[in-house]
Chain A
Amino acid sequence: MKVALFITCLADQFFAEAGVAAVRLLRHLGCTVEFPEGQTCCGQPAYNAGYWAEARQVAEHTLGVLERADYVVLPSGSCTTMLRTFYPELFREQPRRFAQAEALSQKTYELAEFIVKVLGVSHLGQGLKGRRIAYHHGCHALRELGIKQEPLTLLRNAGAEIVDWAAAEECCGFGGLFSVKLPEVALSMADRKLSTLPPTSQIDFLTSADGGCMLHLSGRIENRGLGLPVRPLASVLWEAAQ
């Protein structure tokens, strides 16, 4: 199966290992991985800040870059939502572009979702035996796309224990520009979320599919000296397959 990887700008710049792990994992599962080199960012920063004309420019670029792909896979729930849900929204008034966006929407998947739903794989291996993991659900993946069980299934089936976390489904406070427009509120949200974790000595690491959430949470964790490693889901899933 031929898969085009859309690495997302945050993963490209800050979590390059997530991209590497995604490629290795997809190849391991029998996919041919392509990296369409014209890709940049999905346009979400402009879209969320209300700059829809600029978001359309970026989206048009991405539509062109991914036009010939059979499947598009992203190591991010938020950017997946941008391509799958918000691109068609952006082009509602432009029939030709809308059709293109709809076509892209149909073939776009978040990594864990793709593995479970399209490849039909729910056992990657036993590489996470004994690992205690805190899983942060990115809001877009969870509430816009309804991706909840897929990553948890893959982690659990690889032997990991998902720790009980009262606020696992609560927003971490990143929200793109939200975290710099309202920094105090954003940090307070991260603190509230982190304060509901079991003692960090009982957790090996925190993982999430979203680069933005990870930057925000890991930045806060480090700042507060909580000593909890934060790892991209793609890297953890690759470890699961070992």
Chain B
Amino acid sequence: MKVAANQYPQEAARVLREEPQVRESVTGATLNFDSKRRQAYAEVDAETWRHWAESVKNHVLSNLDRYLLEAEASLQKNGVQVHWAEDADDARRIVADIARAGQVRKVVKAKTMVSEELAINPMLEGMGVEVLETDLGEYIIQLLQQPPSHIVGPAIHLNLAQIRQLFHERFQTPPDASPEHLAAVARQLLREGFLKADMGISGGNFVVAETGTLALIENEGNIRLSTSAPRIHVALVGIEKLLPRFTDLAVFLSLTARAATGQRLGTFVSLIQGPRQPGEPDGPEEVHVVFVDNGRSSVLADPEAWETLRCLRCAACLNACPVYRQTGGHAYGYVYSGPIGAILSPGLLGLEETKPLPYASSLCGACFQACPVRIPIPKLLLTWRNRAVQEGLSPRLEAAAIKGYALAMTQPWAYRLASKALRLLPEKALDNTVVPVIKAWTEGRAGLKPSPKSFRQMWEDGEV
């Protein structure tokens, strides 16, 4: 997918100025998700769950080679065809080959962020294959030709009026149709898609190495249909999504649902154990699992960033993030947005293309508090910032200013001098200035007013 992460500051400002309804929609929805998550966490011993989940994922990541081989063997034993994609090109080629071999003309898709990352839809469409997104939110943004704005709620940035308008234009629904009516119209259209499709594409929340089980969580039932109705099912799964044993699933399924939507479990959980067996009435004839690297192994090899790969893609960090809430996901310029996107995108794509993202945070820590697998997001944001500085990617003026700052703060005389200078500045200099940092401050905020005397001066003058 095209990356526009270097435009983050401009895009964030533009969304706030030109699309104020985005802030409204995203704030409302994320606050709702976040409060449901809190309630669902409160029911369980959340801290113990989080620590346990963290340790299981750490164990998997530390032994990933072994578990990937075990998973491959178990999947094959179940009749699943396993493929390995080193990068996006590989993945697209693998999916294209499967589609060609199966003479696929129509594809239905379950929501999968990996397929966005790999730009599967444009590739299939280029082959003349019709692609239908079957998650309602994904379907809406497919109609609008937009990328997802949120990992779990892709159309989170839209309000009801916009969706009414869209359906009115496309499907001639009444301009004031109820949400139920709109959903019913979409349901009708999607039903036809399921029945005609030759291939279903899904992601994978988990793959159990021990049993070769692919686990998928959802609420709409479209994943179950996409993975069982068509002849061929292809699951695109990041290599980090493994769990060791079948018994690990119980807590992980519940933890993910609780973190994502505040549910104890998704409405539908599919545990896929291979293609249709002789005597079984339904299910696909072929099941393929494509394990996708696409930068993940270099994140894994990174002594600091590897913890990012614990991510379950629950989006709890997005829902908790006051920065994400202002603009939604599109401003981040890549498929993964919000706090996790700000540390995952630099890991997958490198800092050159993504350097504003680690700064897209006030470091308030709400993301870490929300994360079900305890990814130290604020710490990793700082790590990426430090790397940007070390690689000379930070603005030169800023680097010079910080060097000056460090010098002044290690020499008390220089600190005093700066303190005196601050008080000699005419009031206007701190209010209506062209100095970049102060200008950015005073646009929208009243000017800075230093205390008439610094505390230090008062102390030295014996006034304290």
Contacts and interface: CB of A to CB of B under 8 A. Distances in A.
B379 to A, nearest CB: 8
A47 B403 CA distance: 12
Nearest to A27: B464
B344 interface: no
A130 interface: no
Q: Which applies to chain B's interface (DSSP): helix, strand, loop or mixed?
A: helix
Interface in A123-159: 139-140, 142-144
A17 interface: yes
Contact of A57 (B365, B406, B440): B406
Interface stretch (B46-54, B79-87, B238-246, B322-330): B322-330
A183 B409 contact: no
Contacts of B460: 37
A193 to B, nearest CB: 8
A12 B402 contact: no
Given A50-B394, A139-B363, A187-B445, A11 B455 contact: yes
A116 interface: no
Q: How large is the interface on B (under 10, 10 to 19, 20 to 34, 35 or more residues)?
A: 35 or more
Interface in B8-32: 9, 12-13, 16-17, 23, 27
Given A50-B382, A181-B9, A223-B444, A45 B363 contact: no
Contacts, number: 197
Interface in B62-86: none
Nearest to A16: B451
B441 interface: yes
A185 B456 CA distance: 34
Interface residues of A, number: 69
Contact of A37 (B394, B443, B456): B456
Contacts of B360: 182
Interface string A190-224: 00110000000000000000000001101110110
Given A19-B455, A43-B409, A46-B406, A139 B445 contact: no
Contacts of A50: 358, 382, 384-389, 394
A41 to B, nearest CB: 5
Interface stretch (A94-102, A106-114, A167-175): A167-175
B195 interface: no
Contacts of B248: none
A20 B387 CA distance: 40
Contacts of B365: 139-140, 142-144
B448 A175 contact: no
A19 B454 CA distance: 9
A145 B12 CA distance: 31
A193 B447 CA distance: 20
B12 A184 contact: yes
B406 A54 contact: yes
A183 B444 contact: yes
B464 A20 contact: yes
A19 B399 CA distance: 31
A186 B362 contact: yes
B459 A35 contact: yes
Interface in A17-38: 17-20, 23-24, 35, 37-38
B403 A189 contact: no
B409 A14 contact: no
A17 B453 CA distance: 9
A13 B441 CA distance: 17
B364 A184 contact: no
B171 interface: no
Contacts of B101: none
Contact of A216 (B325, B364, B445): B445
A37 B464 CA distance: 14
A241 interface: no
B410 A40 contact: yes
Contact of B408 (A20, A40, A52): A40
Contacts of A140: 365
A70 B325 CA distance: 43
29 contacts: A7-B455, A9-B415, A18-B455, A20-B458, A38-B412, A40-B412, A49-B394, A49-B398, A49-B402, A50-B389, A51-B386, A54-B402, A57-B406, A60-B410, A139-B364, A140-B365, A143-B364, A143-B365, A171-B364, A175-B362, A181-B9, A182-B9, A182-B359, A182-B360, A183-B443, A192-B326, A193-B322, A219-B448, A220-B445
Interface of A: 7, 9, 11-20, 23-24, 35, 37-41, 43, 45-52, 54-55, 57-58, 60-61, 89, 139-140, 142-144, 170-171, 173-189, 192-193, 215-216, 218-220, 222-223
Leading 9 A-B pairs by shortest Cβ distance: A175-B362, A50-B385, A219-B445, A19-B455, A171-B364, A222-B446, A16-B451, A143-B365, A54-B406
Interface of B: 9, 12-13, 16-17, 23, 27, 322-323, 325-327, 358-366, 368-369, 379, 382, 384-389, 394, 398-399, 402-403, 405-406, 408-410, 412, 415, 419, 422, 436-437, 440-456, 458-460, 463-464
